[in-house]
């Protein structure tokens, strides 16, 4: 895992001063704490920060290869899980290798397969390859955008980086928040429309896309998409196929030259990962798997059961630890550090995110990094197997909007009056929602329920899952920790896309099919546990702390948050301990204390990034 950055101009020679690329690269130090590297050319400068996972000696970047009379240079962030298969095919076709890094496999693969290399890769990646003879730059991003890649074009120069902060460090690239950015931030956020960022003229390479930048400009092409097909497999074959795909995805992601661990919440998904990992360790004579969980000071004492969070994790974690004899580490986060990390979490994302849901993950990863460099997560299972409440709740199914973000009226009211009179968040979100729904292919053979669930699955995969993947990447890489997500294997996602809802939700349960498949792998209590989201703090001291933080901000009438949001409405939220905003801001958790923490993040962001507001 790494951070990549660079800029390319094909119409004139670049300045020989290396200060700009070095400064831009330094802002990605967290993503790659182990090494840095640079590549300089008349037309392109590249910078790389490396987190060393595989082949420390021969995987240094940027990496240049000469083939015939041409030279190619790659700058890459990611991990490829089918490296051995591609490498064997390349060796059979006359290629030789200096080591066993996936970087070298991608570069040789590009030389041999050309643009089609992306169709060969199974993994998480974003990379650029400079073709020196053609004066052409190739950019690519993985199937689900697990690894980030942003870009901007200014004065005939293409600027690109793993994170927005590096692009903003390029001379004369200014942080500008226009009408689209405000609608993205407060209408869609913390999700975002694929391809966009909240900053004017800064974009992201869309998931499953590659780009070609040459003298004719920058053009993008989609290399993969979900395909709707009739599901003809029997129930038994379906179970066997899912079991094989999941097992293969997990086993491929257990390869590492450095210490590796599992995140364990005691939920179905992380428990599946732990069970597979534990069995793999036993089979290969390895020490017991290291597992990590997150909790908060006094959380058991203050836990409040709800429809969205029906039970706490500790009881179920202990079941898994005892059943699989893992070497478990419980990370307990205290209230002050959770609040203090809100700013770092915002900086990691480059914009306000999921408040303490983010800062908790950031601190969780920080503690894991003390002992491991790679962690495996059960993320993405709910999106693929139908685990979220909105797959079942009538109010969500009939909301005619993104079901995890239905508080649109409240979001509009949160804007200050001048901005609110100019922008209609509801119309903006509705347009994005309809555009996405219209991309879904419904089959004639789909039952009414399967057709309905295809639509909500598509939204969940392309919007909600993207948000969680962004969160996972930013919070883990801020600590130099690689996070792997086996459930997000594109082969598994494609197969499950066409499994009828009646099978996917077997016995009327969320993730019913998955529960059935792993019933002999896990303890019964784990298999039957009701879906519970990432844990949040229930400590009343946290509410008091973020309320005090926000109150201090609002005491200053010149605070930058007042340039965007309605001061009176925020004061109402404070006066009612967050009850003025009845529905969660996003997903299942962002209510009350989390909303106050989010508003604190907004002000922190405005103070640090100082965006110019244009509407």
Query: Hey, what are 456's tokens?
Result: 């909500």
> Residue 331's CB: how many other CB atoms inside 10 A?
17
Q: Is residue 534 part of a domain?
A: no
Count helices and strands (H / E) in the chain. 27, 19
Residue 574, pLDDT above cutoff 70: yes
Residue 557, pLDDT above cutoff 70: yes
- Supply the pLDDT for residue 399: 84
Stretch 117-137: mean pLDDT: 97
Do 44 and 17 sit in the same domain of this protein? yes
User: How far is it, in rounded angstroms, from Cα 44 to Cα 71?
Assistant: 13
Do 179 and 282 sit in the same domain of this protein? no
Average pLDDT, the chain: 93
- Supply the pLDDT for residue 552: 96
Do 162 and 29 sit in the same domain of this protein? yes
The structural domain count of the chain equals 3
Stretch 200-212: mean pLDDT: 98
CATH assignment at residue 78: 3.60.20.10
Long-range contacts of 404-409 (CB under 8 A, 24+ apart): 404/191, 404/464, 404/586, 404/587, 404/588, 405/188, 405/191, 405/429, 405/585, 405/586, 405/587, 406/583, 407/581, 407/582, 407/583, 407/584, 407/585, 408/187
Catalytic residue among 2, 75, 183, 281: 2
User: How far is it, in rounded angstroms, from Cα 84 to Cα 102?
Assistant: 9
Q: Is residue 601 part of a domain?
A: yes
Residue 83, pLDDT above cutoff 90: yes
CATH assignment at residue 513: 3.40.50.620
* 2 given a catalytic annotation: yes
- Supply the pLDDT for residue 258: 73
Partners of residue 131 on adjacent β-strands: 72, 136
Q: What is the pLDDT of residues 418-433, one digit of tens each?
A: 999 999 999 999 999 9
Query: Hey, what are 21's tokens?
Result: 């690329």
Q: Could you tell me what percent of the chain has a pLDDT over 90? A: 82
Q: Could you tell me what percent of the chain has a pLDDT over 70? A: 96
Residue 128, pLDDT above cutoff 90: yes
> Residue 399's CB: how many other CB atoms inside 10 A?
17
Q: Is residue 568 part of a domain?
A: yes
Residue 193, pLDDT above cutoff 70: yes
Q: Assign 345 to helix, strand or coil.
A: helix
Do 520 and 577 sit in the same domain of this protein? no
Do 145 and 242 sit in the same domain of this protein? no
Strands, E assignment, 466-524: 482-484
Residue 587, pLDDT above cutoff 80: no
Q: How confident is the model at residue 585 (pLDDT cuts 50, 70, 90)?
A: confident
Do 552 and 516 sit in the same domain of this protein? no
Q: What is the pLDDT of residues 248-269, one digit of tens each?
A: 999 999 987 778 899 999 999 9
- Supply the pLDDT for residue 491: 98
Do 155 and 245 sit in the same domain of this protein? no
Q: Are 166 and 111 in contact (CB under 8 A)?
A: no
Stretch 489-508: mean pLDDT: 97
Q: Are 48 and 25 in contact (CB under 8 A)?
A: yes
Q: Is residue 217 part of a domain?
A: yes
Q: How confident is the model at residue 578 (pLDDT cuts 50, 70, 90)?
A: low
User: How far is it, in rounded angstroms, from Cα 14 to Cα 43?
Assistant: 6
Do 327 and 409 sit in the same domain of this protein? yes
Q: Is residue 230 part of a domain?
A: no
Stretch 501-528: mean pLDDT: 97
Q: Which of 501, 527, 553 corresponds to the end of one domain? A: 527
Residues 6+ apart with CB under 8 A from 322: none
Do 283 and 410 sit in the same domain of this protein? yes
Stretch 198-205: mean pLDDT: 98
DSSP 366-429: HHHTTT-SEEE--TTHHHHHT-SGGGT-HHHHTSSS-TT---HHHHHHHB-HHHHHH--HHHHH
Q: Which of 527, 554, 578 corresponds to the end of one domain? A: 527
Residue 496, pLDDT above cutoff 60: yes
Q: Is residue 152 part of a domain?
A: yes
User: How far is it, in rounded angstroms, from Cα 566 to Cα 418?
Assistant: 9
Query: Hey, what are 82's tokens?
Result: 């089918």
Q: Which of 191, 222, 253 corresponds to the end of one domain? A: 222
- Supply the pLDDT for residue 575: 87
Domain span at residue 573?
540-614
Q: Are 538 and 296 in contact (CB under 8 A)?
A: yes
What pTM did the predictor assign?
0.95
Residue 577, pLDDT above cutoff 90: no
- Supply the pLDDT for residue 581: 62
- Supply the pLDDT for residue 400: 87
Q: Is residue 266 part of a domain?
A: yes
User: How far is it, in rounded angstroms, from Cα 87 to Cα 97?
Assistant: 9
Do 202 and 255 sit in the same domain of this protein? no
Do 178 and 241 sit in the same domain of this protein? no
Q: What is the pLDDT of residues 436-481, one digit of tens each?
A: 999 999 999 999 888 999 999 999 999 999 999 999 999 999 999 9
Q: How confident is the model at residue 341 (pLDDT cuts 50, 70, 90)?
A: very high
Do 496 and 597 sit in the same domain of this protein? no
């Amino acid at each position: 895992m790494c951070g990549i950055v660079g800029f390319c101009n094909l119409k004139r020679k670049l300045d020989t001063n290396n200060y700009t690329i070095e400064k831009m690269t330094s802002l990605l130090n967290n993503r790659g704490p182990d090494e840095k590297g640079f590549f300089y050319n008349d037309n392109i400068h590249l910078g790389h920060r490396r987190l060393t996972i595989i082949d420390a000696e021969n995987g240094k970047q940027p990496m240049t290869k000469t083939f015939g009379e041409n030279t190619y240079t790659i700058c890459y962030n990611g991990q490829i899980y089918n490296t051995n298969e591609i490498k064997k095919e390349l060796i059979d076709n006359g290629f030789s290798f200096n080591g066993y890094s996936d970087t070298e496999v991608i570069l040789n693969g590009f030389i041999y397969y050309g643009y089609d290399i992306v169709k060969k890769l199974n993994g998480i990646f974003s990379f650029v390859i400079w073709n020196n003879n053609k004066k052409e730059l190739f950019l690519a991003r993985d199937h689900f955008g697990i690894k980030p890649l942003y870009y901007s074009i200014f004065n005939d120069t293409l600027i690109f980086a793993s994170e927005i902060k590096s692009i903003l460090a390029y001379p004369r690239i200014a942080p500008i928040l226009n009408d689209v950015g405000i609608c993205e931030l407060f209408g869609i956020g913390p999700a975002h429309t694929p391809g966009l960022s909240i900053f004017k003229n800064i974009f992201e390479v869309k998931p499953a896309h590659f780009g070609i930048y040459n003298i004719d400009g920058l053009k993008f092409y989609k290399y993969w998409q979900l395909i709707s097909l009739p599901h003809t497999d029997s129930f038994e074959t379906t179970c066997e196929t899912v079991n094989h795909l999941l097992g293969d995805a997990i086993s491929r992601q257990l390869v590492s030259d450095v210490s590796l661990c599992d995140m364990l919440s005691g939920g179905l998904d992380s428990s599946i990962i732990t069970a597979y990992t534990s069995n793999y360790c036993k089979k290969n004579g390895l020490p017991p798997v290291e597992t990590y969980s997150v909790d908060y000071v006094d959380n058991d004492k203050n836990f409040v059961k709800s429809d969205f969070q029906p039970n706490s994790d500790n009881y179920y974690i202990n079941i898994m630890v005892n059943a699989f004899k893992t070497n478990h580490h419980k990370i307990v986060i205290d209230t002050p550090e959770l609040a203090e990390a809100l700013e770092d979490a915002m900086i990691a994302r480059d914009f306000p995110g999921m408040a303490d849901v983010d800062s908790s993950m950031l601190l969780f990863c920080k503690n894991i990094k003390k002992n491991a460099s790679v962690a495996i997560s059960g993320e993405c299972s709910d999106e693929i197997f139908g685990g979220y409440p909105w797959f079942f709740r009538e109010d969500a199914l009939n909301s005619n909007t993104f079901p995890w973000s239905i508080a649109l009226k409240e979001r509009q009211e949160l804007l200050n009056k001048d901005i609110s009179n100019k922008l209609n968040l509801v119309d903006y979100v509705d347009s994005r929602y309809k555009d996405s729904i219209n991309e879904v292919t419904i089959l004639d053979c789909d039952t009414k329920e399967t057709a309905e669930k295809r639509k909500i699955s598509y939204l969940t995969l392309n919007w909600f899952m993207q948000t969680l993947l962004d969160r996972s990447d930013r919070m883990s890489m801020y600590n130099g920790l690689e996070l792997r997500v086996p459930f997000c294997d594109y082969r598994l996602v494609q197969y499950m896309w066409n499994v009828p809802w009646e099978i996917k939700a077997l016995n009327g349960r969320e993730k019913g099919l998955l529960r059935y498949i792993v019933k002999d792998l896990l303890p019964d209590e784990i298999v039957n546990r009701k879906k519970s989201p990432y844990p949040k703090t229930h400590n009343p001291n946290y509410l008091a702390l973020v309320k005090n933080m926000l109150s201090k901000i609002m005491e200053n009438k010149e605070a930058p948050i007042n340039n965007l949001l309605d001061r009176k409405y925020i004061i109402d939220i404070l006066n009612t301990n967050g009850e003025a905003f009845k529905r969660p801001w996003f997903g299942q958790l962002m209510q009350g204390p989390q909303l106050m923490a989010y508003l604190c993040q907004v002000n922190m962001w405005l103070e640090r990034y100082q965006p110019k507001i244009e509407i």
